[in-house]
Amino acid sequence: MSWEKERVKGKQGASGKKRPGFSISAAAGDPAAGNGNIELCGNRRAIIEGSGGVLEYGPEVVRIRLGKLSVRFTGRNLRIRSMSGSSMVLEGYLFGVEYLL
């Protein structure tokens, strides 16, 4: 599994100061082999590519199929913002990401 971290342009907070943003990307093997890719944008958004479908969906837990694995996102006010083909955008307050065999 490879991990990449990059700094992204920060958003302006209520105080008028810019907050730094981070993007973390994890590729669970080769996306061409059907293992998928997850990009985390801070703790508010996950962009998932290569999804095999939603296995569990609720405001505190979302579990998806990603190749031979399933991935569980835990948090608060989780919702699938968009979904097309094998890609989806998950938003809310992300507390954790678990890879399950």
Average per-residue pLDDT for the chain: 79
CATH code (residue 88): 2.60.40.2000
Instruction: Provide the residue range defining the domain that includes 88.
Output: 2-100
Query: Over 60: is that where the pLDDT of 40 sits?
Result: yes
Q: Please indicate whether residue 5 or residue 71 has the higher confidence score (pLDDT).
A: 71
DSSP 8-state symbol, 38: E
The span from the CA of 37 to the CA of 66, in Å, is 8
**What is the tally of structural domains in the chain?**
1
The span from the CA of 30 to the CA of 99, in Å, is 16
Statement: the pTM of the whole predicted model exceeds 0.85: no
